[in-house]
A and B are shown apart, each in its own frame.
Chain A
Amino acid sequence: MDNTNTIIKVDNLQTSFFTHRGEVKAVDGVHFDVPAGKTLGIVGESGSGKSITSLSIMRLIESPGRIKGGNITFNGEDLLAKTEAEMRSIRGNKISMIFQEPMTSLNPVYTIGDQIAEAYQIHQGLSKKEALQKSLGMLELVGIPSPKARLKAYPHELSGGMRQRAMIAIALACNPQLLIADEPTTALDVTIQAQILRLISGLQKELGMSMLLITHDLGVVAETCDYVAVMYAGKIVEYADVTTLFKQPKHPYTVGLLKSLPRHDIDQDELQVIKGMVPSPDDLPEGCRFAPRCPFAREMCVNSLPDLRDQEEGNQVRCWIHTDEWDGPEVNVKDDYDYGYRTVEGTES
């Protein structure tokens, strides 16, 4: 993690929702950077805080949510200190976002052309005509067939895949330095997923953008990302470059995710999944948040939360197993991991 050409640096980000039931810590002390021109994947199950992290970067958290603390540095500038007007000139211009739901993310009463053109009108002060001209170019770039006709089409006239392409066109219109793609393919048919993913990562390289790719699919990460942050219940539990992560996963949660990937090389009767559920952010365990589901968990895991520590292999891992304080038998997480849901053992051994 070299600071010299880091495009965005997120430092101890804390975003909470203040509901009548109390504070919900959706994002609780997240750190990561994205080097220029690289792709960072954020993986984690539903509810782990991936979307809230990306919306925090865009400063689009709505009430009752609030960014409670931390720093977000974009191109050396402190995003959290920006005024709303300054943020607006960044959104859709220098940082863009693609959302998960192509079916509902486009405004149903405006044409595709109008919706792309708006970005040019806002950020480059172009006239409607010039803006539409450039929008046409974008539709060609994202591979929409008969782009001239599509310019005048309304969202409901397009398929899910085409709408997501239109969303990509909107996001990339102003040549952003950072693209945040929040599960851009989850809602699409499997065959379309691969196409859209290839399109996004192709354009990312072509345009030299940095990308934050949010997904719960490690297969997607393997194909497109340079670095990976594994998120669990509002915290990052493991961070590594993609090769290291797949070769030497250290956190039991990462290993669990990897082992639950469908495999094509062997016949599988059933897909193995991590037992249990992500704890709700309004009722988080006191110690390691993964402890209740972790096959290696011991009393220390339940009692206190480890921090993110550098490993020899280059990973950063938040797990007691990889510390000197670990009081259990030696484990090789990758080999010893099994799916049995275990209750917490005492310090016998």
Chain B
Amino acid sequence: MFIYTLKRLLQTIPVLIGVTLVVFLMMHLIPGDPAQIMAGERASEEQIELTRDRLGLNDPLPVQYATFVGNAIQGDLGNSIRNGRAVTTEIGTRFWVTVELAFYSTLLSIFMGLMAGIISATRRNSPVDMFIMVFALFGLSMPNFWLGLMLIQYFALNIDWLPVSGWGSPQALILPVITLGTAGAAIIARMTRSSMLEVIHQDYIRTARAKGVKERYVIYKHALRNALIPVVTVVGLQFGALLGGAVLTETVFAINGLGRLVVDAIGQRDFPIVQGSVLVLALLFVLVNFLVDISYRFLNKRIELD
């Protein structure tokens, strides 16, 4: 297990190089002169030249890349064009808000999705199963921002139980987490159901029953652990998608997360912020994937080390 973890960790290195390279090149691939963009539209020739020098844009590309990575490792992602503050400080606070939102939403997805999926699978083709599956289809096809608006309309405005927007209090967390969690719950429910149905007909489930194992343990001990293997991948992807995809929900609920920061930065052409955010999200994605692989290996003893 330790060796596997180490191996898997080493495998992330080329991915990290790729990610930093792409983020680095973003700067050079966007149309126009980065120095011109950074210096502002009305900047004079000298100002632009100065900016170019300051950004090291006159150095050869490999040198620039090395500097970029070197700075990034030391926690320096440059400064915001708009307010001159360090990109890392700007991202810092917002980052945790988004991670928290994604984390709780994923937790809700897992909880609801697993419950619904297991109930559906064990009562296959019953009215309960059909109800859950129709509901899951709704959850999947409903746009997040629309669900968010509906929830605000009812719970915040009509019956006034929960705050309309904001961040910080547990109550404020509820609606955005539900909004973001439902789609994931629906995907996980469907995945769990089909995975359970496949596992439940395996020979080893019959062996467990023939041993006298209680049906409850047949499901939760013998079947679920096997059925979870494909579900874990979905959970990981889900979490990753939430990190980048919470933009609309953050906007609807006026939450100051990373998503909104990026959207605002794009609007203001605050290039270092965009670059920094993309890098941070990409790194987080790599981390989540790594964790998924590790838990995969933990669940599935059959993965051999090659």
Contacts and interface: CB of A to CB of B under 8 A. Distances in A.
A91 B207 contact: no
Interface residues of B, number: 20
Given A108-B301, A109-B226, A97 B203 contact: no
A238 interface: no
Contacts, number: 69
B209 interface: yes
A99 B206 contact: yes
Interface string B203-217: 110111111111100
Contacts of B204: 104-108
B193 interface: no
B301 A91 contact: no
A122 interface: yes
B58 interface: no
Contact of B207 (A88, A105, A109, A123): A105
Interface string B196-240: 000000111011111111110000001001100000000000000
B300 interface: yes
A222 B268 CA distance: 88
A154 B299 CA distance: 12
A109 B209 contact: no
Contacts of A84: 215
Interface string A222-262: 00000000000000000000000000000000000000000
B213 A122 contact: yes
Given A101-B203, A104-B203, A156-B301, A90 B209 contact: no
A154 B214 contact: no
A156 B211 contact: no
A99 B203 contact: yes
B299 A92 contact: no
A122 B212 CA distance: 7
Interface string A97-138: 101010011111110000000110011000000000000000
B302 interface: yes
A317 interface: no
Contact of A109 (B206, B210, B214, B299): B299
Contacts of A196: none
Contacts of B209: 60, 91
Interface in A119-169: 119, 122-123, 154, 156, 167
A109 B301 contact: yes
Given A60-B206, A104-B202, A107-B222, A154 B211 contact: no
Contacts of B211: 91-92, 118-119, 122, 170
A106 B300 CA distance: 14
A311 interface: no
Contact of B210 (A89, A97, A101): A97
A167 B213 CA distance: 15
A93 B212 contact: yes
A89 B212 contact: yes
A58 interface: yes
Given A104-B204, A105-B203, A60 B300 contact: no
Nearest to B209: A60
B207 A106 contact: yes
A96 B209 CA distance: 11
Contacts of A88: 212-214
B302 A90 contact: no
Contacts of B202: 104
A104 B202 CA distance: 7
A60 B300 CA distance: 28
Contacts of B302: 108, 154, 156
22 contacts: A88-B214, A90-B212, A91-B209, A91-B210, A91-B212, A92-B212, A99-B210, A104-B202, A105-B203, A105-B206, A105-B207, A108-B300, A108-B301, A108-B302, A109-B226, A109-B301, A118-B208, A118-B211, A122-B212, A156-B301, A170-B207, A170-B211
Interchain residue pairs A-B with the least CB separation, the first 3: A92-B211, A92-B212, A91-B212
